[in-house]
């Protein structure tokens, strides 16, 4: 016969068993899988619980990893943003997941496939591809170790700063027709700027000024006016350089790049339209006596003497060609005026020149300026921009009406 102590232990065990059964019943109800308490369903319950966890089969298999379409790296300085895009792609595909402190945890069964696919996205930049290949072998395909090696090598601030300054020096304006190429290069420079000088207002001000300095003076003035107009500033005495974003404004309009684009497109469209009146007529030029003062005392060469006559033969004999008749030989967008330059110097400064005509006043030894006809297809604004940078006075010439 059982002792009182044994009966007490038996009673306690029954109470614990009842509590366990109630807990088991609650678990089943939570799983929407009600099974009779009289049945031994432990295995069934464990299976139900396991089904609630992400299964291995839901992960991305190696065959799928090799079929992923990844962006290609174009420049070594873009490696940081390239990694960001690649890692998000692998996470969405189920080949990896973000772990503690934002580190990427690549699933072991696709570790080699993921690294191989990543290396293929670097093939356009051979130095980076070679460095990554060596690092992956050295570190046994470890994603985060290879990542640290590449970013330390190519994305250090000193490296990015050197690349930023070099690209800014090499930025060149070649004409309003190529403004999109210019702005694309400027946008690349700005993206480097944000990595080198994040939230640095003074450097941002310097960047805006250095980019605008690539343009002729008349375009700079128009861009400054446009920026003030977009930002609501009363004058350029205020901080206009940082009044609007440099690129990619939220409204797509209020930015430095959009102001440049607007001014250059306006000038490009205006150059297509033929003026109704001859702005640069002989009478309009003759009032400017300062043109003669700006000319050198160098005597006119034989080439100038011949060009100033520029005769054509007709049935009744020879006659001098008027400026209007000479201009009619060329399209309006081929003509520019150049002040203070002639002879071999003129030819060297403008290799695109097809011909030129000296516009003189009566009794004057030297011309007010020369009308230069550029070869067909030449970008007139690019030539003017180059001459301006070389301190040669030049501008568009509107044909006589």
The per-residue pLDDT string of the chain (401 residues; one tens digit each, 9 = 90 and over) reads: 667 777 777 788 888 888 888 887 777 777 655 555 555 566 666 666 655 555 444 577 888 888 889 999 998 988 988 999 999 999 988 888 888 777 888 998 899 999 999 999 999 999 999 999 999 999 999 999 999 999 999 988 999 999 999 999 999 999 998 999 999 999 999 999 998 998 889 999 999 999 999 999 999 999 999 999 888 888 778 889 988 999 876 566 689 999 999 999 998 888 887 555 544 444 444 434 334 333 333 444 434 433 433 433 333 333 467 888 888 888 888 899 888 787 788 888 899 999 988 876 555 555 568 899 999 888 999 999 898 888 888 888 876 65
Q: What is the pLDDT of residue 295?
A: 38
Cβ neighbours for 207, distance < 8 A, ≥ 6 positions apart: 168, 189, 190, 193, 246
Angular region, 399: left φ>0, alpha ψ -120 to 50, beta rest = beta
Q: What's the whole-model pTM score? A: 0.51
Cβ neighbours for 297, distance < 8 A, ≥ 6 positions apart: none
d(CA 157, CA 163): 10
- Angle of helix 217-231 relative to helix 256-272, nearest 10 degrees, comes to 130
Regarding the domain delimited by 282-396, which CATH topology (the fold level of the hierarchy) does it fall under?
Alpha-Beta Plaits (3.30.70)
């Amino acid at each position: 016969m059982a002792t009182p102590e044994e009966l007490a232990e038996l009673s306690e065990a029954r109470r614990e068993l009842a509590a366990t059964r109630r807990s088991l019943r609650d678990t089943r109800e939570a799983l929407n899988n009600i099974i009779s308490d009289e049945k031994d369903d432990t295995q069934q319950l464990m299976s139900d619980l396991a089904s609630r966890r992400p299964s291995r089969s839901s992960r991305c298999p190696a065959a799928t990893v090799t079929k992923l379409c990844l962006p290609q790296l174009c420049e070594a300085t873009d490696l940081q943003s390239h990694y960001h895009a690649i890692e998000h792609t692998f996470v969405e595909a189920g080949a990896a997941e973000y772990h503690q402190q934002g580190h990427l945890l690549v699933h072991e069964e696709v570790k080699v496939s993921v690294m191989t696919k990543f290396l293929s996205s670097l093939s356009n930049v051979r130095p980076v591809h070679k460095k990554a290949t060596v690092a992956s072998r050295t570190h046994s395909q470890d994603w985060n170790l290879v990542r640290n090696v590449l970013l330390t090598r190519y994305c250090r601030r000193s490296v990015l700063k050197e690349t930023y300054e070099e690209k800014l020096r090499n930025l060149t304006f070649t004409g309003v027709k190529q403004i999109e190429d210019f702005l694309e290069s400027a946008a690349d420079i700005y993206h480097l700027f944000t990595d080198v000088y994040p939230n640095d207002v003074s450097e941002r001000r310097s960047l805006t000024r250095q980019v605008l300095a690539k343009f002729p003076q008349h375009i700079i003035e128009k861009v400054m006016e446009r920026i003030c107009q977009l930002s609501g500033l009363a004058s350029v005495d205020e901080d206009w350089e940082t009044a609007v974003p440099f690129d990619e404004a939220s409204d797509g309009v209020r930015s430095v790049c959009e102001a440049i684009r607007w001014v250059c497109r306006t000038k490009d469209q205006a150059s297509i339209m033929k003026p109704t009146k001859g702005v640069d007529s002989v009478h309009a030029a003759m009032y400017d006596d300062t043109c003669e003062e700006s000319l050198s005392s160098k005597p006119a060469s034989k080439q100038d003497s011949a060009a100033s006559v520029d005769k054509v033969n007709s049935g009744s004999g020879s006659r001098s060609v008027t400026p209007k008749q000479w201009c009619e030989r060329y399209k309006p967008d081929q003509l520019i005026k150049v002040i203070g330059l002639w002879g071999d110097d003129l030819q060297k400064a403008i290799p695109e020149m097809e011909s030129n005509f000296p516009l003189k006043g009566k009794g004057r030894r030297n011309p007010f300026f020369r009308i230069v006809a550029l070869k067909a297809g030449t970008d007139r604004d690019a030539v003017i921009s180059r001459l301006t940078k070389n301190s040669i006075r030049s501008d568009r010439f509107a044909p006589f009406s």
